[in-house]
Amino acid sequence: MVGTTEAVDSSASNNKKNRIQVSNTQKPLFFYVNLAKRYMQQYNEVELSALGMAIATVVTIAEILKNNGLAVEKKIMTSTIVMREESGGRPVQKAKIEILLGKVGEV
């Protein structure tokens, strides 16, 4: 898994091999773009996921892939999750986005 959100979402879908969890502090934008390209070749689809301020980065990655004809948008899911800032800290709501992209011609 990539990014800093692994511990946040403990659902079973968190184990997907074609999911990229994006952080806007960990890696440069094109690291994620190139990783998504590789996942598209390997799995025919990729799921981009982010929390809070990293949402803009995920949208940018998806738009780059779509504008270059490498992907088509299959599904966008938004939600709000509750997490603690630190152990014992007060709960904080964070926006979450998941964008599922498929290979062109695979919709």
Q: Helices (DSSP H) in 2-102: which residue ranges? A: 29-43, 55-67
Domain of residue 29: give its range: 12-102
What's the domain count of the chain? 1
pLDDT at position 5 is 36
Q: Are 57 and 30 in contact (CB under 8 A)?
A: no
Question: Of 29 and 11, which is predicted with more confidence?
Answer: 29
- pLDDT tens track for 67-93: 999 999 999 999 999 988 777 788 899
Q: Where residue 42 sits, what CATH number does that domain have?
A: 3.30.110.20
Does residue 42 fall inside a structural domain? yes
Length of the chain: 107
SS3 43: helix
Backbone angles phi, psi at 49, to 5 degrees: -135, 140
DSSP state of 23: -
DSSP state of 16: -
